[in-house]
Structure 1
Amino acid sequence: MRTSSRVLAVTTDDSGVRSVQRCVDILGLLTESRPAVSVAEIVRETGLAKTTVIRLVQTLERNGLLWATAHGYLAGPSLWRWAHLARGSWELPPEATELMRELARRHGETVNLYVRRDVHRVCVAQQESQQALRHVVRIGDELPLWGGAAATVLLADADDEHLARVAATSPHGDLATLRAGVDEAAARGWAVSHGEREAGLSAVAVPVQGRAGTVIAALSLSGPSVRFPDERVAEFAAALTEAAGQLHRRGFDHPFRQAGS
């Protein structure tokens, strides 16, 4: 990898941050469909030198974040502790889970709860539709904020600088259109999308307000567009609004389980 003299002159702090980001990138290569990754795959997909990759994976392995096997590097056992901590903070209270389960049962579509993270939205809870043709994402999946009903309501409190950064990630790059959609959803109290992120997929979403009255999450119903005609969209919006109101009245906030709760 070629490095300019300017880059070689970075401070120790900058170099440390870069190393941390590289480690995160390596861990990010592991997925359910690829539970193990080889050094050669890491080199190919990150563009890092082999010597750098070896140094980083050895550091991750020493700290239990990777585990070396004959098939490559797996997620390490130390991640269990962090996963347990994350679950304790982000797992929904039982009454909220039951509320989502009832929405999915009554309306026949998948119910998701998303939170905003920079220019992405993260799925933190889901109740799947029982229909054969249904929309499903995985817990922890990151989706873009530039499209989809849930994204639109999550941006209700975003300032112009944040909206500009989101628009810059969009294939359309249209800040004015993004702002107009956010403002319309805020005035109406809910958002609907048809094929914005994925053709044939529709969703209706409402904001969930925390104790301070700010938008902390988006509650949505999603599924095939053929099952989202106007009359069903109105029905979904009303049901979601009622459910979001119940969450707010119960003192909903996130992380969902605070220390000592």
Structure 2
Amino acid sequence: MSGTSHHVKSVRKLFRIVETLEERESMGITELARETGIAKSSVYKYLDTLHHLGFVTKDESSYALSLRWFQVGRRVRERRDVFQVARSELNRLARRTGETVSLVVEEDGYAIYLSQVSEREQPAGPVAEGDRIPAPISVGGKAVLSYRPVKEVEALLADQELTDRAEQLVSELQTLRNQRMVIERESPQDGTFSAGSFMGHRHVVGHDEPYQNLHSIAVPVRNADNYAIAAIEVSGSKDSLYGRRLEDEIARLLVNASKSIETVLLSR
């Protein structure tokens, strides 16, 4: 883990308050102080500043995060070329498969579910749109990492304190580039993914946490240098996403969607 000696303590405290508010609908100063371990007088100053800037709302003595965060996040997302290009493909893929389709990008070692589309009332993704999980345990994250330089992946694993598993994970990611057959895992203990290739694209199939009740498959979205900038992940129930349908239908639709996105991005 990188050193923290140069970090600004007041900023760390501020975001401890923000993250605590994120987990709750609203909280008062006393409760926030107790939860964060920050003095009540400091909590009040931080909240008053955030309220003045529009990042929290106040209802009598309770505070909550405001939708200003949504505004900021939406603008950050809109600046991503891959998000702009992928939107129509995600919608089309969700309609054709009837499953949950996610656009996944990697950021500081995490798989960020940048966009998620589903025809179902309850999306079946491993996490909700906007959430993140460590890239090495995300199906979409693994699809991205499989098309990244080994040194970059090793540095990412070191930052996440996964150096003890680095050799195994790097080997698994290399398999994603080389393996020519889809392997359907019967048990989560057999491994967290399978690998395969279709028309020059590789895909990952996930079965382990946070995919215990899901089947998911992902393909990378690559730039002109064959470097993955994102992945498209399709997730569904074990009863819906399995065997021949997964291998013959879903995988090929995913590959075609990824190729379409890559083509548009290359033309920009």
TM-score range, shorter chain: 0.7 to 0.9
Paired residues of 1:23 and 1:60 also in contact (CA < 8 A): no
Residue identity (%): 24
**What does 1:54-73 align with in structure 2 at a 5 Å threshold?**
54-70=44-60, 72-73=62-63
- Taking a change above 3 Å as real, the CA distance of residues 74 and 215 of structure 1, as seen in their structure-2 partners, is same
1:175 counterpart = 2:166: yes
**Residue type of the partner of 2:253?**
A
- The alignment partner of 2:137 has SS state of coil
Q: Which runs of 5+ in 2 are unaligned?
A: 179-196
List alignment gaps of at least 5 residues for structure 1.
1-6, 254-260
Q: Which residue does 2:153 correspond to in 1?
A: 159
Aligned Cα root-mean-square deviation (Å):
3.0
Q: Normalised by the size of structure 1, how large is the TM-score?
A: 0.77
- 3-state SS of 1:86 partner: helix
1:19 to 3, 6, 10: 10
The one of 118, 122, 125 aligned to 1:135: 125
TM-score normalised per structure 2 = 0.75
Where does 1:220-259 land on structure 2 (aligned, <5 Å)? 220-235=233-248, 236-251=250-265
Matches within 5 A, 1:197-216: 197-216=210-229
Q: Offset of 1:234 from its aligned partner?
A: 1.4
In 2, Cα distance between the equivalents of 1:77 and 1:200? 32
Number of matched pairs: 237
Following the alignment from structure 1 to structure 2, what is the Cα–Cα distance between the partners of residues 217 and 137?
16
Q: Determine the C-alpha separation between the residues in 2 that align with 1:197 and 1:139.
A: 15
Contact 2:57 2:63 in 1 (8 A): yes
| Counterpart contact for 2:102–2:125, Cα < 8 Å | no
Distance in 2 of aligned mates of 1:144 and 1:129:
26
Q: 1:230 Cα deviation (Å)? A: 2.7
Separation of aligned partners in 2, 1:79 and 1:132: 24
Write the distance in 2 (CA, Å) between the matches of 1:199 and 1:136.
9
The 2-side partners of 1:70 and 1:46 are apart by: 21
Q: Kindly provide the amino acid, as one letter, of the partner of residue 44 in structure 2.
A: I
Residue pair 1:114, 1:125 contacting (<8 A) in 2 also:
yes
Counterpart-to-counterpart distance in 2, 1:40 and 1:47: 10
Cα contact 2:21–2:65 (8 A) shared by 1: yes
Cα contact 1:124–1:140 (8 A) shared by 2: yes
Q: Output the amino acid matched with 1:227.
A: S
Shift of 1:131: 7.0
Quick one: which of 139, 142, 147 aligns to 1:149? 139
8 A contact 1:113–1:125 mirrored in 2: yes
